[in-house]
Amino acid sequence: MSLIRKRIFLPNLVRLWKNWTPSLPQNPSLPMIEHHSILGASQGFHPPDSVIPNINSPYNSSSSSSLLINFGQINVNGLCSPVRQLHLLNYFFHSSFSVLSLNDTRLTSSSAKFIYQNEHFQYNFKSYWAPSPSNSRPHDGVGLLLRHPLHKHVQKIVPWKGRLLKLDLFFHQTKISIISVYIPPYHSIHYKERDAIFAQLNLWLDKARSNNYHVVIL
């Protein structure tokens, strides 16, 4: 297992940490990519206590006026199996993540329509999907899982060809775009497809900048 930890200072998202491991185990226990973003209370983003982790967390070295939201990203290597769906849900609820980005779901439009529908109400979370547009590209599909109460702030959902998924969230004086990105290995994708992904992502980033959105890319 390789591990990368990176600190990036952003003007409004004060701290971003990244940890990386290569793949999801059969019975997942560790995150692949973990982002901890702290937003100061003065910025107007005030999530309830249910999304604030333990103040003794080693990542929470800021003042008590800052709030910590955990973002994670994981390659699930397919979610078509009900067993893998349950494993993922169990992993999500036992993690500290408020937002979990999913890559390589391999879900079609029909299968994504019904996944976790019964669990949404029971466990008070929400899932969002950008399924693969065709069976000719089985290793596509991205998704996002959001805990309560973050999912109540989602105002816009924009999927793009099974490679990108954008959620726009509105809070008091704060607008955030969360973007899930899946770029297949270079040997398995044509350069024109890869360029199209980056072109669409740049369009979203330009629009976010012009509308004063904070952006989290997973």
pLDDT at 197: 93
What pLDDT, on the 0 to 100 scale, is given for residue 186?
Answer: 75
Let me know if residue 166 belongs to a domain.
yes
Positive or negative, the Cα torsion across 58, 62, 63, 65?
Answer: negative
Assess if residue 188 is contained within a domain: yes
Do the domain assignments include residue 12? yes
pLDDT at 169: 94
Residue 209 lies in a domain: yes
Domain membership of residue 211 as a residue range: 6-217
Return the pLDDT at 13: 38
Residue 49's identity, in one-letter code, is D
pLDDT at position 4:
27
Q: What is the CATH number of the domain that holds 20?
A: 3.60.10
Contact 20, 35 (CB under 8 A): no
**Predicted local confidence at residue 211, as pLDDT:** 94
The tally of domains found in the chain comes to 1
Determine contact, residues 36/17, Cβ cutoff 8 Å.
yes
Partners of residue 215 on adjacent β-strands: 177
Whether 1 maps to a domain, the answer reads no
Contact yes or no for 91/28 (Cβ under 8 A): yes
| 96 in a structural domain | yes
What's the alpha-carbon Rg for the chain, to the nearest Å?
17
Residue numbers in the chain where pLDDT is lower than 70:
1-67, 135-138
Helix H, strand E, coil C: the string for the chain is CCCCCEEECCCCCCCEEECCCCCCCCCCCCCCEEEEEEEEHHHCCCCCHHHCCCCCCCCCCCCCCEEEEEEEEEECCCCCCHHHHHHHHHHHHCCCCCEEEEECCCCCHHHHCCCCHHHHHHHCEEEEEECCCCCCCCCCCEEEEEECCHHHHEEEEEEECCCEEEEEEEECCEEEEEEEECCCCHHHCCHHHHHHHHHHHHHHHHHHHHCCCEEEEC
If we measure between CA atoms, which residue out of 146, 140, 57 comes closest to residue 98?
146
What digits encode the pLDDT tens for the residues 72-118?
A: 999 999 998 899 999 999 999 999 999 999 999 999 888 888 889 88
Taking the C-alpha atoms of residue 163 and residue 112, their distance in angstroms, rounded to an integer, is 14
Query: Model's pTM, two decimal places?
Result: 0.71
Domain membership of residue 190 (yes or no) is yes
pLDDT in the model for residue 136: 60
Amino acid at 134: S
In a domain, 16, yes or no: yes
